[in-house]
Amino acid sequence: MSRILVVGASAAGLAAVETLRREGYDGTVTLVGDESHAFYDRPPLSKQILASQWEPGKLALRPPADLDALGLDLRLGTAATRLDLAGRTVHLADGTELPYDGLIVATGVRPRRLPGEGAHVLRTLGDALVLRDRLRRGSRLAVVGAGFLGSEAAAVARGLGAEVVLVEPAPVPLAHAVGAEVGRVLTQAHLDHGVDLRTGVAVVEAGAGGVRLADGELIDADEVLVAVGSVPNTDWLQGSGLTVADGLVCDEFSAAAPGVYGAGDVARWHNPLFGVEMRIEHRTNAAEQGMAAARNLLRPEARKPFAPVPYFWSDQYDMKIQAYGYLRGHDEVTVVDGDLTAGRFVAAYRTGDHLAGALAVGMPPKVLMSWRRMVAARAAWSDAVPSTASVVA
């Protein structure tokens, strides 16, 4: 293999190209990215950048010298537009055709939008800088979507002294992700911090000046942020022969086709640890899957299944939320330490007969490590959770 092409210049792409070099691959590594900046970190966009605590330079994932040492053929500011799988060639928007022997697809996701013009989204550094310039004490921000991103932005805006109305279609925000009881704890924090929270309301339009609800009500706002999830960037793969279904579909090795791997937010793969297909939009998964894809591409004879315990964190107000495992589709949630009403607790999640994950709020991060080990070991629920623990959902 003498030419490896990585499409996508964010965390997953970086992990892939670093791993290729670390594993001793000394052929050509071409890296394509549609943004003009490469390799910056996104989690701080809705936290330290929005709050003006950090300047953009601090987002660089590696110092320039470390990137230079990778010896990359960098193609930034241009998107991949088409994949010719049989001809092993990727076509770029600027007309370039790049042949490859191995390909890693790490094109990420883009924000889902709503009808209307002039609302903000929050995915790129540019998005974050525009929104932070508009957030001021006394200004009124409407946030559509009380998921992790919308919640973090709402918390930052309150901290800056802005008025915030947070609109969420679901009756309980984040219930699909963390369960209704934990979702209620997280949303109570918004109420405690003076956010005007509207749940169970559908939004039909979000634009400059406000949000239109399904019942016709108009919520006025100086700025509107739409944070209602993401769409995988797979348009350029249409017609290529690869399977696309809410992400690039990959097998347990993170392979989409011979010599073609997916990594990061865009990849939907079969995680054998949980026995299900998943697509994870969390920062840690981007790094882990980028590494795994690179290793499996280089060593087809010694491929390893990509079977991680997913991890995410979120900072909202003074709370740090951390979770290990795969919480979606869980059957039961049990508080195993602390107290939901006190806002300091560890909750364990059961799926079938197994411990599927654990989430902590306001607890020392080390507390979760023993739970992570049990999730990784596919612990039986009856072994992991004492029967005296309180069932909450």
Contact set with another protein (CB under 8 A): 15, 18-19, 22, 41, 43, 58, 60-63, 66, 283-284, 287-288, 291, 311, 313, 315, 320, 322, 364-366, 368-369, 372
Which residue lies nearer to another protein by CB, 71 or 99? Answer: 71
Considering the complex, what minimum distance in angstroms separates the CB of residue 283 from another protein?
A: 4
CB 393 within 8 A of CB 179: yes
H or E, element range at 231: strand 230-232
Which residue lies nearer to another protein by CB, 21 or 123? Answer: 21
Nearest 5°: phi and psi at 270? Answer: -90, 110
Considering the complex, what minimum distance in angstroms separates the CB of residue 61 from another protein?
A: 5
CB 231 within 8 A of CB 246: no
Which residue lies nearer to another protein by CB, 137 or 366? Answer: 366
Copy the structure tokens of residue 372.
């992570």
CB 338 within 8 A of CB 344: yes
Which residue lies nearer to another protein by CB, 234 or 296? Answer: 296
| Residue 9 neighbours by CB under 8 Å, 6+ apart | 31, 32, 33, 35, 38, 39, 74, 76
Considering the complex, what minimum distance in angstroms separates the CB of residue 100 from another protein?
A: 23
Considering the complex, what minimum distance in angstroms separates the CB of residue 365 from another protein?
A: 3
Which residue lies nearer to another protein by CB, 311 or 349? Answer: 311
Considering the complex, what minimum distance in angstroms separates the CB of residue 44 from another protein?
A: 8
Considering the complex, what minimum distance in angstroms separates the CB of residue 215 from another protein?
A: 40
Considering the complex, what minimum distance in angstroms separates the CB of residue 62 from another protein?
A: 7
* Region for residue 144 given its phi and psi (left: phi exceeds 0; alpha: psi -120 to 50; beta: otherwise): beta
Which residue lies nearer to another protein by CB, 179 or 290? Answer: 290
Which residue lies nearer to another protein by CB, 10 or 240? Answer: 10
Which residue lies nearer to another protein by CB, 22 or 304? Answer: 22
Copy the structure tokens of residue 99.
């042949």
Which residue lies nearer to another protein by CB, 191 or 369? Answer: 369
DSSP class per residue in 305-366: ------EEEEEETTEEEEEEE--TT-SEEEEEEEEGGGTEEEEEEEETTEEEEEEEESS-GG
Residue with tokens 């040492």, as numbered in its chain: 69
Considering the complex, what minimum distance in angstroms separates the CB of residue 265 from another protein?
A: 14
N-to-C CA span, the chain: 52
H or E, element range at 262: strand 260-262
Which residue lies nearer to another protein by CB, 218 or 369? Answer: 369
Cα(154)–Cα(374) distance, integer angstroms? 34
Considering the complex, what minimum distance in angstroms separates the CB of residue 312 from another protein?
A: 9
Cα(324)–Cα(43) distance, integer angstroms? 17
Q: At what angle do helices 283-298 and 11-22 cross, to 10 degrees?
A: 40
**Nearest Cα to 206, choosing from 185, 220, 190, 196?**
220
Considering the complex, what minimum distance in angstroms separates the CB of residue 39 from another protein?
A: 9
CB 310 within 8 A of CB 325: yes
